[in-house]
Amino acid sequence: MNKSSIKEKRRRKSSPFWFYLVLILFPIIFFVVLEICLRLFNYGRNDETWIQVTETKQMLNPDVSGRYFY
C-alpha cells in the first residue's frame, strides 16, 4: 500500500461532524414538530385535571386517570 491509498482510507472512514449533528437533531426536531402539530389540531382527549362545570364550579375530570393508566 502506498501513502495515497492510506490517506484515502482514512478520509473515507471519518464522517463529517454534521453527520453526527443531523443524527442527533433529526429525531428531536421530528418529535417537537409532531407534538406541535398534534396540539394545533387538538388531537387526543382532554387530560386537564379540573374541568369547568359552570362559571363558578369545577370538578375533577373523570378521564384524568387515562393519562397514567391507559
Q: What is the tally of structural domains in the chain?
A: 1
Question: How confident is the model over 1-54, as pLDDT tens digits?
Answer: 666 666 666 666 778 899 999 999 999 999 999 999 999 998 887 778 899 999
Q: Does the predicted model carry a pTM greater than 0.85?
A: no
Q: Which domain, by its residues, includes 64?
A: 3-69
For position 1, what pLDDT does the model report?
60
What secondary structure does DSSP assign to the chain, as a single string?
Answer: --HHHHHHHHHHHSPPHHHHHHHHHHHHHHHHHHHHHHHHTT-S----SEEESSSS-EEE-TTTTHHHH-
For position 12, what pLDDT does the model report?
65
Residue 23, sorted as left (phi over 0), alpha (psi -120 to 50) or beta, turns out to be: alpha
